[in-house]
Every structure is written in C-alpha cells, then in structure tokens.
C-alpha cells in the first residue's frame, strides 16, 4: 500500500537510514512527523542543519567544536595539555567527561581498526596522534573499547609510540556493584591477576 503514496515512501526510505530506529517503529515515527505542526517540523530540520553548519571537528583532537571558536579541550589552560586520552568515538569522550575525574585532553580516533569493514589505520586519525606526540606530550592513555577491534587498535598505536611517551591503558577488573558469582570468567581472572594493595 505504501508504494501508492510516493511522498510517504520517500520519507520512510530516509528514516530507514537513521541508526537505532527499529524498523518495527518506523511507521509510528513517520506518523509523529506527519502529525507535527509545520513550524515544529521546520524547527526540527533547522536544528539539524544548524548543528551541521556550526560544528566541525577540531583539527588537533578531532572532537566536535563550534566553527570560528577554539576547541573546548585543546585551548583550555586549566587542562593538562601533556596528557592525551585516546578514544574511539566522541561519545566515549562524553562518557569520560561525565565522570568529572579527568583533567587532561583528548584524541578522537573516529573508530577502530577493522579490516573486515575496510577500516585500516589510514581511515583513523592515528597519524595525527603520532604527529601530536612529537610536541609537549608526556602521557597517552589508551581508552579504547574492550573489544577485539579496540584492543588491536590499542596495540597498533602502542607499537607506533613506544619509547617516545608514557603509554597507559584503562584498568580492567570488576565493575562497581558487581557480584563475583555473576561476572564472566575473563573479568574475574583479570581482577585477580591484576589485584592491587588494599
């Protein structure tokens, strides 16, 4: 029936490309937009276009920043510019910022090495990171995801930078609130083998 309503078909095709929108909810989302008043829809589209127009990636750390303004991290004198935390994506940066416990700067790679998906080191901002470490940088924290791709990327970066800076990585062990009984074997193994003085 949808193919008999071309504007609707076109809209559904576009909505299908939005990630994390389950196809079973697609019709409801379409109806949400159809039921919106003209002004609200215009505002929705304007906010997307404005964000796209006014934001760009910082040429140093690759995090999002406002165009014509300096990066919130790279030009913040209160931050320790000699410690760089390397993350896969900007969302990971936000997760670390939310903790409020990190006062260094960041480097957003833009993904992790995954040959199956055609993502090699050239597709990520690894070369930029290597160039960056030639300036006043003392420590690199590898804060990549604990996935095979994330670990491979960490290993690749570590091998590139070894001997030039201090390289550290995130602590592995039990998450806060965990019961030993329900944790996976590997996490418990990491927690016991990397035990620390109390």
Under the rule (CB under 8 A), what is the footprint of a second copy?
1-2, 4-8, 10-11, 13-14, 17-22, 25, 27-34, 36, 38, 41-45, 47-55, 64-66, 72, 89-91, 94, 97
Quote the CA–CA distance of 61 and 83 in Å, as a whole number: 12
Strand pairing class (80-87; 139-142): parallel
What values do phi and psi take at 67, rounded to 5?
Answer: -60, 145
Q: Which one, 49 or 180, has the nearer CB to a second copy?
A: 49
Q: Which one, 90 or 156, has the nearer CB to a second copy?
A: 90
**How many angstroms separate the Cα of 112 from the Cα of each of 56, 93, 123, 147, 187?**
21, 15, 9, 10, 22
Provide, rounded to whole angstroms, the least separation between the CB of residue 189 and a second copy: 29
Q: Which one, 40 or 155, has the nearer CB to a second copy?
A: 40
Quote the CA–CA distance of 32 and 41 in Å, as a whole number: 10
Provide, rounded to whole angstroms, the least separation between the CB of residue 94 and a second copy: 6
Quote the CA–CA distance of 134 and 3 in Å, as a whole number: 58
Quote the CA–CA distance of 61 and 22 in Å, as a whole number: 33
Q: Which one, 65 or 132, has the nearer CB to a second copy?
A: 65
Q: Which one, 47 or 164, has the nearer CB to a second copy?
A: 47
Provide, rounded to whole angstroms, the least separation between the CB of residue 53 and a second copy: 8
Q: Which one, 55 or 155, has the nearer CB to a second copy?
A: 55
Provide, rounded to whole angstroms, the least separation between the CB of residue 166 and a second copy: 26
Q: Which residue has the tokens 């919106």?
A: 36
Provide, rounded to whole angstroms, the least separation between the CB of residue 116 and a second copy: 20
Provide, rounded to whole angstroms, the least separation between the CB of residue 192 and a second copy: 31
Is 95 in contact with 85 (CB distance < 8 Å)? no
**How many angstroms separate the Cα of 89 from the Cα of each of 23, 53, 154?**
25, 20, 14
């Amino acid at each position: 029936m949808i193919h008999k309503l071309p504007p609707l078909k076109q809209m559904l095709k576009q909505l299908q490309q939005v990630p994390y929108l389950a196809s079973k909810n697609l019709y409801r989302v379409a109806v949400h937009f159809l039921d919106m008043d003209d002004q609200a829809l215009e505002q929705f589209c304007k906010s997307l276009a404005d964000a796209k127009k006014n934001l760009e990636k910082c040429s140093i750390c690759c995090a999002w920043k406002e165009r014509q303004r300096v990066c919130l991290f790279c030009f913040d004198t209160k931050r320790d510019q000699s410690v760089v935390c390397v993350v896969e994506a900007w969302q990971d940066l936000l997760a670390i910022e939310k903790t409020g416990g990190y006062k260094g700067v960041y480097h957003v790679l833009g993904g992790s090495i995954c040959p199956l998906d055609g993502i090699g080191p050239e597709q990520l901002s690894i070369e930029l990171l290597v160039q960056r470490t030639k300036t006043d940088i003392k420590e690199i924290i590898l804060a990549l995801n604990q996935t095979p791709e994330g670990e491979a990327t960490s290993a690749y970066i570590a091998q590139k930078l070894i001997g030039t800076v201090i390289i550290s990585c995130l602590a592995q062990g039990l998450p806060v609130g965990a019961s030993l009984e329900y944790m996976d074997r590997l996490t418990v193994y990491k927690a016991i083998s990397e035990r620390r003085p109390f």
